[in-house]
């Protein structure tokens, strides 16, 4: 099977989804696609069922928080791969912190279940359509999402470890 | 008479289930796992898992720590094979900063990682033996895991949570004692391991007990995100060492064992065979160990030798800068995967150029494949459920991060 290139995949994605693909990038050789949040399920499904790309394996889901980008504070990051083609792709979708809703991938991959629960647990991203969206690693009674950046790990008054003291 | 008959029919229609709380600290689960089982007599009808008992918020802590201090966090993920985690993390940072590692350091890493894999698989397989009632194998091979730890101790000074290696190579060359110990291990272990194999591999009692226990098909395994020996036992020849070779794994001649049924016996046999393959790799690496440096020329990341720090101004400055997290790191995001003891151990690192990662996510193979556990034990006996868990090699530290 011919080797799949990032150019090929991004062209195919643009051809199929057009405006739903917000941007593409290739940090360290891995194609990173920012996808409109409403189309994430169809993009993943299409990548999974694509006869050539065949990204049949959901490697990882995680989230992250960018408080400095208004309206796009939370980000869900997906890694997918095709084992026969030895090809990996990263998908991202940004959601506002006021309405952090991302469609769930549990219908496509059973493995998404716990990964989405973990992401919900850490960042509070609501995966719509998830069968059991509960906290998984932290206690159920927790009423905040600990990996959001507004919760500093150490005492907030402590300044000796700030980057500004080291010329950054 | 009629009334009585109706009642008895009703009673049959409503089966009576027992709820059994297996864990969190059950001696047979080898770790902190809780499963609330719905039992019909001895048969498992359903299971509800609770995880997170030893959650230590590594991903949060990592966002505040300089890169070297994260190595100690990775130690505590899969603590049966810490060196693989340490080196996976170091390789991720090397990928981010774009450093090429000398061949000697790569071979040294391969030797250490394969020793760790042997230790990991030995624990798992010995424990499968224990759960079937064969304690002899466990006590016999655990001595050899200690000998692997002796080698780690010679290389880095620690045994279990090793913190081995540096960003840019290894902290020191193998000393004579380490080389002697590795050679002794290569000479003596295969004999002992063969004895362990003959004890279990073709043992009728063991084989009857483990065949068709907790099986999973290749298709289900893939959809549940299985990787590593558990996926290979189901018949998928996926191994990160082969498909994305890191640290010169493409220099070595080894095969990837695969199973057929994905049951406990296949998982056991895949691990057994992988131990043999690891021995082959270590032997090749020892025979062809290149000469040269065991570290790359990256003074801003590679910690200088301690003697120099005390007597040499430049080394002292670098030491201070590295420990305080003052080395400049490029902005970027990188995903690097290594073949851990029980699957693809991935590191997703998002750097904003600060002293600590902006985001670090560990793709922990256990966490992802442990989801399939209820499906694998449904319809089986309780004692099979215990066996399935130990043969999946679920490590609590990795599960709960």
State whether residue B358 sits within 8 Å of chain A by CB.
Answer: yes
Rounded distance, CA B250 to CA B233, Å?
Answer: 23
Q: Are B117 and B84 in contact (CB under 8 A)?
A: yes
Phi, psi of B158 (to 5 degrees): -120, 165
Mutate to test the interface with A, among B93, B250, B361, B365 (most CBs of A within 10 A): B361
Contact A146 B57 (CB under 8 A): yes
**How far is B66 from chain A, CA to nearest CA, in Å?**
10
Under an 8 A CB cutoff, do A86 and B243 touch?
yes
Along the 401 residues of chain B, how does pLDDT read in single tens digits? 555 555 555 555 667 888 988 878 877 777 788 889 999 888 999 999 888 888 988 998 888 888 888 999 999 998 888 999 999 999 999 999 999 999 999 999 999 999 999 999 999 999 999 988 888 888 888 889 999 999 999 998 888 888 898 998 898 889 999 999 999 999 999 999 999 999 888 889 999 999 988 899 999 999 999 999 999 999 999 999 999 999 989 999 999 999 998 899 999 999 999 999 999 999 999 999 999 889 988 888 898 888 889 999 999 999 988 888 788 889 999 999 999 888 999 999 999 888 889 999 999 999 999 999 999 999 889 888 889 988 988 888 888 88
- Which of B52, B59, B332 lies at the smallest CB-CB distance from A136? B52
The reply to whether residue A79 touches residue B346, judged by beta carbons under 8 angstroms, is yes
Please indicate whether, in this complex, the C-beta atoms of A30 and B335 are within 8 angstroms of each other: yes
Residues 6+ apart with CB under 8 A from B176: none
Is the Cβ–Cβ distance between B120 and B192 less than 8 Å?
Answer: no
Nearest to B278 by CA among B105, B101, B120: B120
Contacts of A168 in chain B (CB under 8 A): 353-355
- With an 8 Å Cβ cutoff, is B371 touching chain A? yes
Residues of chain A with C-beta less than 8 angstroms from the C-beta of B346: 59-60, 79
Closest chain A CA to residue B66: A161
CB contact at 8 A, A116 and A136: no
What domains lie within chain B, and their CATH numbers?
A: 2-49 (no CATH), 50-400 (1.10.645.10)
Q: Which two tokens stand for residue B51?
A: 């995880």
* Residue B243, both tokens: 């498909």
Interchain proximity A137–B55, CB inside 8 Å: yes
Alpha helices in B201-346 (DSSP H): 204-210, 218-223, 228-233, 240-243, 264-287, 306-311, 313-323
Q: Does domain A6-166 have CATH number 3.30.460.80?
A: yes
Give the largest Cα separation in chain A, rounded. 58
Residues of A at the B interface, defined by Cβ within 8 angstroms: 27-28, 30, 32, 56-60, 62, 64, 77, 79, 83, 86, 88, 90, 109-111, 113-115, 118, 122, 135-139, 146-147, 151-154, 161, 163, 166, 168
Q: How far is B251 from chain A (nearest CA, A)?
A: 19
Domain ranges (residues) in chain A: 6-166
- CA of A24, closest CA in chain B: separation in Å? 14
CA dihedral B62, B64, B69, B71 (to 10 degrees): 10
């Amino acid at each position: 099977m011919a080797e799949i290139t990032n150019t090929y995949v991004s062209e195919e994605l643009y051809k199929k989804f057009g405006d739903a693909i917000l941007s593409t990038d290739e940090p360290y050789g891995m194609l990173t696609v920012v996808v409109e949040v409403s189309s994430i399920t169809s993009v993943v499904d299409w990548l999974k069922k694509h006869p050539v790309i065949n990204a049949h394996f959901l490697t990882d889901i995680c989230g992250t928080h960018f408080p400095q980008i208004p309206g796009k504070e939370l980000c869900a990051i997906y890694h997918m791969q095709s084992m026969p083609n030895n090809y990996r792709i990263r998908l991202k979708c940004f959601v506002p912190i006021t309405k952090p809703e991302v469609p769930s991938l549990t219908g496509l991959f059973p493995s998404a279940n716990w990964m989405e629960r973990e992401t919900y647990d850490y960042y509070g991203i609501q995966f719509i359509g998830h069968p059991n969206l509960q906290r998984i690693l932290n206690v159920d009674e927790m009423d905040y999402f600990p990996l959001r950046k507004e919760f500093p790990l150490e005492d907030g008054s402590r300044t000796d470890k700030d980057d500004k003291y080291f010329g950054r | 008479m009629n009334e009585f008959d109706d009642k008895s029919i009703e009673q049959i229609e409503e089966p009576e289930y027992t709820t059994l709380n297996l864990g969190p600290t059950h001696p047979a689960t080898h770790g902190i796992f809780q499963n609330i089982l719905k039992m019909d007599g001895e048969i498992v009808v359903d299971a509800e898992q609770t995880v997170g008992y030893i959650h230590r918020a590594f991903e949060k802590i990592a966002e505040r720590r300089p890169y070297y201090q994260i190595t100690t966090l990775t130690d505590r993920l899969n603590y049966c094979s810490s060196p693989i985690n340490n080196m996976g993390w170091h390789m991720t940072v090397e990928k981010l900063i774009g450093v090429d590692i000398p061949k000697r350091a790569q071979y040294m890493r391969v030797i250490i990682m394969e020793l760790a894999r042997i230790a990991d698989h030995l624990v798992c397989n010995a424990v499968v033996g224990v759960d079937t009632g064969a304690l002899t194998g466990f006590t016999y091979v655990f001595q050899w895991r200690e000998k692997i730890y002796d080698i780690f101790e010679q290389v880095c000074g620690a045994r279990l949570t090793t913190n081995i290696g540096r960003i840019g190579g290894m902290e020191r060359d193998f000393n004579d004692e380490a080389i002697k110990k590795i050679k002794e291990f290569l000479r003596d272990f295969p004999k002992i391991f063969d004895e362990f194999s003959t004890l279990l591999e073709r043992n009728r009692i063991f084989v009857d007990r483990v065949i068709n226990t907790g099986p999973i098909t290749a298709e289900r395994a893939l959809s549940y995100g299985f990787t590593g020996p558990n996926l290979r036992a189901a018949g998928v020849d996926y191994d990160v060492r082969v498909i994305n070779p890191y640290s010169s794994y493409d220099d070595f001649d080894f095969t990837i064992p695969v199973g057929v049924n994905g049951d406990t016996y296949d998982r056991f046999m895949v691990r057994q065979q992988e131990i043999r393959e690891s021995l082959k790799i270590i032997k090749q690496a020892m025979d062809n160990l290149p000469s040269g440096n065991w570290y790359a020329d990256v003074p801003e990341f590679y910690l200088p030798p301690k003697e120099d720090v005390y007597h040499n101004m430049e080394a002292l400055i670098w030491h201070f800068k590295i420990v305080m997290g003052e080395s400049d790191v490029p902005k970027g995001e990188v995903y690097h995967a290594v073949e851990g003891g029980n699957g693809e151990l991935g590191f997703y690192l998002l750097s904003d150029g600060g002293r600590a990662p902006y985001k670090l996510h560990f793709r922990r193979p256990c966490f992802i494949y442990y989801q399939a556990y209820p499906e694998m034990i449904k319809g089986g006996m309780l004692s099979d459920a215990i066996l399935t868990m130990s043969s999946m090699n679920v490590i609590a530290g990795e599960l709960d991060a």
